[in-house]
Amino acid sequence: MDDRQLETLFRDAPGEPPEPTFDIGQVTRASQRATVRRRTMVSSVCGAVLVVLVGVGVVGVTGDSGREASTAAAPGSTEEVNGNTQLGPMGQPGDAPGRPPIAAPESFPTGSPMQGGETTGETGPRAEGTHGCDQADRELATALAGELPVPVPEGAAMPGRVCSTDFRSASFPVNGGVVSASVVPSGVSLTLATQPEGTLTAQAQSGTGATVLVLSIPAAGSTDAPFAKDMQGVADALAKRF
């Protein structure tokens, strides 16, 4: 092979390789991004499965022995509501499992309104209603406190002993037991569970067709309902407002 042939071979040989367009840092970052995308996809799928599996349960709480069930009837659908029969001291009525602790309402009127008294503030007659069994309805609690013949402790309101997702309710621990009030919507026939012996019930029809139900429940070991002679008057007064 002569020099000309060697020159031709060297000329036809490939030149220097091109510079790389990426380095090890870029490869590492790309791998990390791919890992994050896979984890995000897995989390999204798991979250969607959990949402599908979530259900809503309704817990009914039955009571102990006492008077026969009272019935406040109105034409329409029938809904059975069970009231508790044991009183917890200054806390959530009864000892039924599964219900969360009842937090005191954030703002009730300062001072202790007496029977027939007027109240102002965010818990007054224009306050938004609260339904269900998790917390007391502020407006109803304020009105009930104003109709009781004795002052009630500030922030002592609890959910009523008769409650449902469609009801407004409130109750107060008083000397000798508990006084509870519930506003049952028009068209609902209410069947009460058995209440403690000595429990007094009073009811009145409001102008909107709702039924106001007031219960005076004796303390444990007693059969004397607190403020028994005042309960019908309390129910009538609340019916004028609800």
Q: Per-residue pLDDT tens for 191-237?
A: 888 999 999 999 999 999 999 999 999 999 999 999 999 999 999 99
What's the token pair of residue 236? 């009538």
pLDDT tens-digit readout, 27-86: 777 777 888 777 777 777 666 555 555 443 433 433 443 444 344 434 444 444 545 433
CA distance 85 to 68: 13
- Residue 10: is its pLDDT beyond 80? no
Given this model, what pLDDT does residue 79 score?
Answer: 45
Yes or no: say if 163 and 61 are a contact pair by the CB < 8 Å rule.
Answer: no
pTM (whole model) above 0.85 = no
**Helix, strand, or coil (residue 184):** strand
Phi/psi-derived region of residue 103, left when phi > 0, alpha when psi is between -120 and 50, beta in every other case: beta
Burial class (CB in 10 A: 0-12, 13-18, 19+), 55: exposed
* Torsion of the alpha carbons at 73, 102, 108 and 123, rounded to the nearest 10: -40
Nearest to 102 by CA among 156, 178, 58, 158: 158
Sequence-ordered alpha helix ranges (H) in 59-185: 138-147
CA angle 205, 209, 214 (to 5 degrees): 35
